[in-house]
Structure 1
C-alpha cells in the first residue's frame, strides 16, 4: 500500500493545479500519475493476498495485452477509413502509422533485448543492441504516458461547462470545402449559436467572432463563410464580427482578441472548437495571456483518433525542448548502464 501515498500526493497536486488554472497540461500528468499509482497499488495488494489472486492479476495482464492488440487493429482500420474518407495526407495516415507502431515496437524491442547472444557477438555489440532495445522500451513508455496524460485530460477538460455569460464567443476556423462550411466546422458554429441563444433576453448577447483567414486552396476567407452561416441561422448582424487574417490557432486567438477590443466588448471570452482540439486551444490561450476558456463541439467518430494524434504531436512539438530533455535523460541512463556493464570489474 506504499504507492497509495504518491497517489494521494499526485491527486492533491492535480486538484490544486486544476483549481488555479484548468488550462495546464501538467494537470493531465498529475491525474495520470495519481491513477497509475492507485492502479499499481491495487494490483500489488490483490496479488499479495494469495495464489488465486495472483493468477487473476496474470489474467488481467494478458487481457490488457489483448486490448493493446485490439487497439492497434482498430487504429489500422481507422487509418484505412481516414484515407478513403478524407484523402491521402500525412495527417490522415497518423492512426494507421500508430497502429503499425503499437504492433512493431514491442516486437523490435524484444528482438533487440532477447535476440542477441552477447557471448557470441564481437566486443560490446551485444550489450549495445540490448541497450537499444531497453531505450526503445523507455521511449515508447514515455510516449504512451504523455499521450495518456494528454488524451485523458483532453476528455476531462472538454467537459468544461461555462458558468458566466461570455462577452465574446470566438469560433476557430478549420477549413472550407469549395468555399462552403463543411460539417466539422458547422458543428463549431452550431455550438457557438447554442451559447449565443442561451443568453436571456434581458442580458446583452455575446459578440460572435468567426475566425479564419483564406487558405491557398480556398476561394474566400473562412471567417467570411462562417459569418455568412451565423447570419443565415438568425444571429444579429450587429453581433457578428468576422476575423479573416489568421492562419493558425495562435493567430485565431490573438487577432480575435483585437476584434473584440475594437468592438468594445470587454469581458470574458469563450472559444469554441471541436472536442479533440479544446486542450491545445486552451494551452495556447493561456500562453498568450488570454483568460479565455474553451468548449468543444461534437466530431464524427471516425475522425477522432487521427485528430487526437495530430493534436498530441502538435503539443509535443510545441514542448520539444522539454521532451528532448526527457528523452536525452533516458538515453543518458541507458548509456551509463552500458558503460558500467563494460567496465572491467
Structure 2
C-alpha cells in the first residue's frame, strides 16, 4: 500500500515550503522513496512471475543484484583512484585519506559479503549482517544528505529570487595572496546573483567574507575585494568582512554588517557546491533569511570535500547519531559474548 509513502512525501513538500534548510528533510525524502520503491517492487514481482517463467524471474532478480554489487564495487574503486588523484594534485592531506579510507571499507566489506555468500557458513552471514548495521545507517544518512543537498541546490538555482545582500564565503589563497580558481568560482557565482538582483530593481550589497590565515599575506576578503574591483565591480556596493575564521563566523559577522548597511531582507550566500547545503543549515541556525548558491568544483576534489561536509553535519548532530550507532553495535557485542562463552 503506497499511502504511507505518499503521506511522507506530502509532509516533505510541506516542510520544504516552510523551511528548506534542514538536514532532516533528506531523511524524510529517503524514507518516502524507500517506501514507494518497496511498494513498486512488491507490485512488479508478482506481475513478473505471472507473465514470465520462474527461470526468467530468477535471472531478472540476479541481474538486479549483480548491478547493485557492481555499482558498489565501482564506487569503492573510484574513491581509491580519486584519492591518488588528490595526492597528485593537492598533496597529502585529510581529503585524500577520507576518499581512500571510504573506498577501502566499501571494497573490503563487499569482498567479505561475496566470500560469505559463496560459503556454507550461516554463522558468518549473521556476523556480516550485524557488522554492517552501523555502516548501513551511516550510508543511509549519506545518501539522504547527497540526494537532498543536490535537490536543494537545483531549487535555489531554479527558484532563487532577488536579494538585498550577497555574501561570498572565502577559501584559502594561492601563494598566500592570489584568488584561486575555486575562490574565483564563488566570487563569480555571488556576482551573478548580485547582478540578477540589480536587474530586478533591488540595491543589494555584496559582502566578501574571510579572515587572514597564518600563511596568508592578506585576508581572503581583501583578496576578493581587489579581484572584484579589478573587474569593474561597483565599489560603493562592496563590503569587506575580514575577521572570520569559519563559516559560522562568516555568517555571524556578515549579519552585523548587513544591519549596519540596513540590508535586512533576503540574503544569498555564495560558496562551492559541496559546501552549499551545510552553509544553508548554518544560515538557518543563525536566523538569516535566504538561500545558498554553489559554484562548480573540480571533479577530482568534489567527492572528498562532500564526504568532509557530511562528516561535519554528523558532528553537528553527534549525540543522537552516536546513540543510534551504539545501539546498532549492540548485536555485535551480544554475538561476541555468545561466541566467547559458547564452547
Q: TM-score scaled by structure 2?
A: 0.88
- In structure 2, relative to structure 1, the CA distance for the partners of 1:110 and 1:232 (3 Å cut) is same
- List, as ranges, runs of 4+ consecutive aligned residues in structure 1 with deviation greater than 4 Å: 108-118, 129-132, 333-344
Name 1:327's counterpart in structure 2: 325
The 3-state SS of whatever aligns with 1:326 is: helix
Residues 259 and 213 of structure 1, relative CA distance in 2, 3 Å threshold = same
Aligned to 1:248: 246
Q: Which residue of 2 aligns with 1:122?
A: none
1:82–1:303 Cα contact (<8 Å) kept:
yes
Cα offset for 1:47?
2.2
Deviations 1:281-307 (A, max 9, x none): 011111122223111111111111111
CA distances 1:74-132 after superposition (whole Å, capped 9, x unpaired): 111111111111111012322122111110123456779998979xxxxxxxx8x8776
Q: Deviation string for 1:267-293 (max 9, x for gaps)?
A: 111111111111100111111222231
What pairs with 1:179-328 in structure 2 (closer than 5 Å)? 179-200=177-198, 203-328=201-326
Distance 1:88 1:165, change over 3 A: same
Q: Could you tell me how far 1:200 is from its partner in structure 2?
A: 4.2
Structure 2 Cα separation of the partners of residues 342 and 93 of structure 1: 35
1:171 aligns with 2:168: yes
The CA distance in 1 between the partners of 2:68 and 2:116, in whole Å, is: 23
Equivalent pairs, count: 333
Seen in structure 2, the aligned counterparts of structure 1 residues 6 and 89 have a Cα distance that, compared at 3 Å, is: same
Unaligned runs of at least 5 residues, structure 2: none
RMSD between aligned residues: 2.7
Shift of 1:333: 5.3
Give distance in 1, aligned partners of 2:160 and 2:34. 31
Determine if contact 2:131/2:332 at 8 Å carries over to the other structure.
no
How far residue 72 of structure 1 moved from its aligned partner, in angstroms, is: 1.2
Which residue of the partner structure matches residue 85 of structure 2? Answer: 81
Q: Cα–Cα, structure 1 residues 338 and 28, in superposed 2: closer, same or farther, change >3 Å?
A: same
Indicate yes or no: 2:135 matched with 1:140. Answer: yes
Unaligned runs of 5+ in 1: 119-126
What is the distance in 1 between the residues matched to 2:59 and 2:119? Answer: 28
**Aligned with 1:38: secondary structure?**
helix
2:207 and 2:160 map into 1 onto residues whose CA distance is 20
**1:20-47 superposed Cα distances (whole Å, 9 cap, x missing partner):** 1100111111111112222222223222
Compute the TM-score of the two structures, normalised by the length of structure 1. Answer: 0.88
Which residue is 1:103 aligned to?
107
Q: Secondary structure of 2:240's match?
A: coil
2:221 and 2:320 map into 1 onto residues whose CA distance is 35
